[in-house]
Structures are given as structure tokens and as C-alpha cells.
Structure 1
Amino acid sequence: MLGGIALRHRYDDDLGQIGYGIRPSARRRGLASWALAEMLREARTTLGLDRVLIPCLADNVASARTIERNGGVLEGIRETGDVRVRRYWITLTA
């Protein structure tokens, strides 16, 4: 097991629609970018979504870069309790 990714069928304003994680020993191999790209394709083709929300911790630079490489546009940074979260939207194209 190198990591996991989940596509939520219901919109959740705090969790977003896609969440992922890669085992530390498997990072820096492009796995997160690949998995996110595949999940975006699934969100478009199977669920018919035209955009998705993907949050990440504000200090998680690697995840922010992965999301941005896949077309993520930063909506802003929110305080959720004692955690700061970046919120990205990705528009899904045909």
C-alpha cells in the first residue's frame, strides 16, 4: 500500500470532494499527481461533476503543488478550529 485517495459523492464544505495521502516512504515519485489526475477523470466521467473542491493543510507545500499542477485554483485559506486549510477548486473539462 503506497497511499489512498477518496472521491466523496456528496459535497462537504470542510472535507472537500477529494482527499488523498501517500505513505512517507513512497513520496516524491509522482504518485499523488497521478492518483489525483485519475480521480479527477472519474469525478467528471462517472459523477458528471464540472468542478471539485480539494482542501489541504496550509503548511503542506507538497500537497498544494500537487493540486496546483492538476489545475487547482486557490479560493483562499480558512481557519478551521486550530488548523489553517487551503481550499482549491479544480474545473473539470471534457
Structure 2
Amino acid sequence: MGVWKALILPDGWAPITTYFCMKSGAILGSVRVRHGSNEYIENVIGHIGYETRPAARGKGVASFLLAWVRDYVVPDSAIVTCSIDNSASQKVIENCGGVYLGNYTDESEGTVMRYRLART
């Protein structure tokens, strides 16, 4: 195990911090926060991305991670997106206070739902 730190990122890439939710040494989920913004972040992938281990889905891990980042990491507000077909993620974002901004269609990612998540 170690800590990795990128010193030089390619042009246009925003630095990312990753946080993990763990129980008994197992990673249940992770959340990434992108620092900075560009058109792709604002419209397609958002400032925050998260995933939950399949065995931990439906147990509140994603909601916990997103709410924690909202309350302790996001400086003011952030864009969060999910695939238009991902109703579970849509529910997580809305339950954490995400305000629907509309859909955006990207050639490589398809149609995503865009939300603004504000610090509480």
C-alpha cells in the first residue's frame, strides 16, 4: 500500500481526490472529487463521481459518501451527473439534495442527468 501523487497532469485534467468507505478492511465504496472545472466536467462527468461495491449496494454507502463529500469537501456547490438509465444513482443524488439541471448528451458517454449539489 502506498500514497500516489501526480505531480504533472495532462492539459485540461483536473486534480482528483479519492475517498474510501471501508469496513473491516474491505472497501465498500469510493468517491472522487475533481478540483477545478472545465466544459467536460460541468456537462458530462461532474465534479463528483462515486461507486459502490456490488455486495454493498442498497445499504446506503453511496448516500453516505455523497453526503459526506457535500458536507466536508465541497466548498460551495458541485455538479454531479449520472446516466439517464441509472435510477439508483438518480435517487442517491436527489436524496442528498441534488437539484436537477437538465440532461446533456455526449458522443462518448451518452445522455446524462445533471444536478447541482450544494453544501448544507
Counterpart position of 1:90: 117
Counterpart position of 2:64: 34
C-alpha contact (below 8 Å) 2:70/2:118 kept by paired residues: no
Confirm or deny that 1:74 pairs with 2:100: yes
Q: Which runs of 5+ in 1 are unaligned?
A: none
- TM-score for both structures, normalised by structure 2: 0.69
Distance in 2, matches of 1:85 and 1:54, equals: 10
Counterpart position of 1:61: 87
SS at match of 1:56: strand
SS at match of 2:72: helix
Q: Which 4+ stretches in 1 moved above 4 angstroms?
A: none
Tell me by how many angstroms 1:19 deviates. Answer: 0.4
Q: Which runs of 5+ in 2 are unaligned?
A: 1-26
**Relative contact order higher in (CA < 8 Å, ≥ 6 apart):** 1
Aligned-CA RMSD value: 1.3
Counterpart position of 2:6: none
How many residues align structurally?
89
SS at match of 1:28: coil
- TM-score for both structures, normalised by structure 1: 0.86
The percent of aligned pairs where both chains have the same amino acid is 37
